[in-house]
Structure formats: structure tokens, C-alpha cells
Chains A and B, each alone.
Chain A
Amino acid sequence: MSASKGISDSLEITRIFPAPPQRIFRAWTDPAELRKWWKVGDGMTLTVAELDLRVGGEFRIGVESREGNVHMVRGRFLEVIPPERLVYTWIVDDPNLEKMETLVTADFRESESGTKVTIKHERLSNAKLSESVQLGWSSVLDGLTSMITGNT
């Protein structure tokens, strides 16, 4: 089936949280709340959280490591439907990395036990990959995606 889908350059992760969608949406979009949980890794603290929560609005999220290195991510909101859906571009602002615009879709669906959150991160492919490489790797990536995200 990978042929019809083309290269798989996305991942999808789902989890159920025991809280209503409104609560999750707020945690996801309120800078003060984000500061409390968005950590990215051990020893990292969120130092920048600016969100202009409307279609076309931009955001910047910056985490700082103990050594003082700041990792910045920015993007633009393409869809804002509280409390159920957010679509935004995601660009890692790192001078050492090639600027790559990826796409994040966050769905917050009410479920029996709370909220089912689904994150879909798309356009992870590098445009510079030649077609032949893509063809050769598409099946590997398909497998990789489903293996990595399959059992969550």
C-alpha cells in the first residue's frame, strides 16, 4: 500500500488523558500553563512561550538547557478550533539545521475516560532526497512509522 500513499514522512501518536478537552486545550495553548509542563527533556525549562492563538497568528516556544543553550521552535496557526483542533506549522529555529517547515495537527476528542489526544506530525521528509532514494526508503519509513508509533 505504500506505493499509493507515496513516501511516508509523518508520524501519529495518540494518548488518552483523564481530563476534559477544554482542560487539555488550555494546557496546550496557554503560555502560563505550557511553562508548567512543556519540558522537552531532562534539565530543560521553557523560557519563551509566545502564542498568538488565531488563524494566521504566530507562536514561539523556546526551551533552555542547563548549559544555557536555547532551542527555539516557531510556527503559524493554520486552524484554531477550541477545544478540539489545532493545526500549525512547526519550524525548528536552529542555525545548524536546515530550515524545514513541518506540520502539526493536534486533535482533542472527548472520550469516555477523558480526552483522546492525537498528534500528527507531517512533512518530515527532506526535500533534497532524490526520488530514487525516496522510492527505496518509502517502505522502510512506512514500517518505521508504524513500528514507532504503533504501540502507543
Chain B
Amino acid sequence: MEPRNLGDRSRRQPQISSPNQRRGQPAGRRPGHFQSKRRQDDSTSNLNRTFSALADPTRRAVLEKLAEGEMTVCKLAKPFPVSLPAFSKHLRVLEEAGLIKRERDGRMFRCRLEATQLVEPARWIVSYGSLWRRQFDELAEYLESDKKLGRNR
């Protein structure tokens, strides 16, 4: 057992899991009795990540947009007045929080809402929030055009 070989990923040989190899794994990777405690910490930090990802209005708007369906990063970025690198950073934060998923599609990247992270009510809140806001916009526009025709009241 030569420990320095373990991390060598360039080896083309099939990896056979032998008791010897398992013993050679770094201690931190081995299931241990601290696991349940660690899992608890993980879920707390997941919540914190979700929270801080949602704390930004641009990122919330991205989620609202994605509630309409998956789309390419270019299309998604269009309505936002930020540079593409800045926008990518927002997407990365959302992705790390598990709220969205980015997938390569040819030369483009597609984004979609990661439904498993947003529990059902949260998903409805996001999508209805954007629905009502849109309906308000439509109503305001309609009333405005109607007013111009002198039909108000």
C-alpha cells in the first residue's frame, strides 16, 4: 500500500475496492460515530446558505423567473442590469445553495429551479409572488390605456 498512489486519478486501471484500499482512505471520509452530529450541522448550514442566497433581490428575481420554466443563462440574464460575470456569480451562489441547477446544452448553459430544495409552499410563494406582480403590471397598463380612451370610472 503506497499512500501517494491513492490520489492518482490518471491511473486507467479499474478501481477495485479491496479491504486494503478502504483502509487506505483518509480518516475523514470514513463513516464514523460523529456522522449524525455532522449531518445536523450540515442541514443548519444548508439553511443558512439558502437564507443568504435568498437575501439578494437579483437572486430572488432569478428564482421567480425560473419558476416560469427552465431557460438559457443568456435569456435569464437579459432583463438584469448587471454584467454577465456579476450575474454568473449570482447563479453560482444559487447553485451552491441548491436552489438552481446549471446544465451544459451544447455551447449554452441552461438553468432550472431545483425543486427539491424549495419545499412546496416556498415554490408556490415564489411563483404566485411573480404571478400577482405580473397581473398588477398588466392591470396598471390596462387602466392607463383605458384612461387615455376616456373610459375611466
Contact = CB atoms under 8 A, between A and B. Distances in A.
| Chains A and B come from one and the same complex | yes
Interface of A: 7, 9, 11, 13, 15, 17-20, 22-24, 27, 33, 36-41, 102, 117, 119, 121, 124-126, 128-129, 133, 136-137, 140-141, 143-145, 147-149, 151-152
A143 B53 CA distance: 12
The 7 A-B pairs with the shortest beta carbon distances in the complex, nearest first, are A37-B142, A126-B120, A124-B124, A125-B121, A9-B121, A148-B129, A37-B138
| SS of B interface (majority) | helix
Contacts of B129: 11, 13, 148-149
Interface residues of B, number: 34
Interface string B110-139: 000000000111101110110111111011
A133 B68 CA distance: 26
Contact of A11 (B43, B128, B135): B128
Interface residue SS majority, chain A: mixed
25 contacts: A9-B124, A11-B129, A11-B132, A13-B129, A13-B136, A17-B139, A17-B143, A18-B147, A23-B153, A27-B139, A37-B142, A39-B138, A117-B136, A124-B121, A126-B120, A126-B121, A136-B43, A140-B51, A140-B122, A144-B122, A145-B125, A147-B54, A147-B55, A147-B60, A148-B125
